[in-house]
Structure 1
Amino acid sequence: MDVIADIFLAAGAFGAGIYCYILGRRLNKFNDLEKGVGGAVAVLSAQVDDLTKTLAAAQSTASVSAETLTQLTVRAEAMSQRLELQMASLHDIPPQESTVAAAETSKVQQTTAEPMFIRHRA
């Protein structure tokens, strides 16, 4: 009886050894840096590093652009206020007579029937 138990024990140990050998070979292929998942992980890691650098560069560029836009907006608002003030001050000035006379003269010239330009044939 002990002999039969020893044979089963040896067969189980031998089967476990073969199983571990096959599993070890599969894991080596799985972790291969060129063809397996290890290679895919290495490639993805490199791509993540590249994307991180690109993102940092884009953020710095965006912050510089935001600063520039803020400065330009402040300048535009100041200029808009100055233009509004100038327009308001123009409303206070009475119209000059020469301007009114020139406007009336141009209206009279437009209503005449004579053509403004004449073509002469040679």
Structure 2
Amino acid sequence: MGILADIAIGSGALLAAAYCMLLSRRLRAFTRLDGDVGRAIALLSKQVDQLTQALSAAEAGSAARERVLREQITAAEQAARRLELLMAADRPHAGKTTAAPPSADWSDASAEFEPLDRARAPEQRLRMTRTRTGTRA
């Protein structure tokens, strides 16, 4: 009986030693992982800073491009208005049978006369020209 008790105690000690070795290996792996995780976090933080700087540079560049594009759109709209005015003024008068002097169209004093606002002048002239020539309003 004493020999069986000694064998049980010996085997328990061997199992405890094996378990301690297993825990020791896990602890070393965790320590290495902690160092690797710290390096990974530092690397990710640096990348976030770089991406933030790149994003702010891209925003500044897009704001400048937006301003230039808006100016170009405004210039294009003004050019389109001028072209519409030129096309409307150059279009032959549909439905007229007799040729009247060009001043005859504009010489009649109408009650609809109102001074042109400088900012809206091209649209108002185009509207008046279309009304007088009978084209689309």
TM-score, normalised to structure 2's length?
A: 0.49
Q: Which has the higher contact order (CA 8 A, sep 6+)?
A: 2
Show the counterpart of 1:2: 5
**Which amino acid is 1:18 matched to?**
M
Could you tell me how far 1:47 is from its partner in structure 2? 0.8
The 1-side partners of 2:9 and 2:53 are apart by: 63
Could you tell me how far 1:72 is from its partner in structure 2? 2.5
Which of 24, 32, 37 is the equivalent residue of 1:29?
32
- Unmatched tracts of structure 2, length 5 or more: 93-100, 103-137
Aligned 1:34-49 pairs, distance under 5 A = 36=36, 38-49=38-49
Which of 14, 17, 41 is the equivalent residue of 1:14?
17
Give a deviation string over 1:31-80, Cα, whole Å, max 9, x none: 32xxx454244213311332133224313532442244134213311222
Aligned 1:1-122 pairs, distance under 5 A = 1-32=4-35, 36=36, 38-89=38-89
Over aligned residue pairs, what C-alpha RMSD do you find? 3.0
| Secondary structure of 1:28 counterpart | helix
TM-score, normalised to structure 1's length?
A: 0.53
Identity %: 32
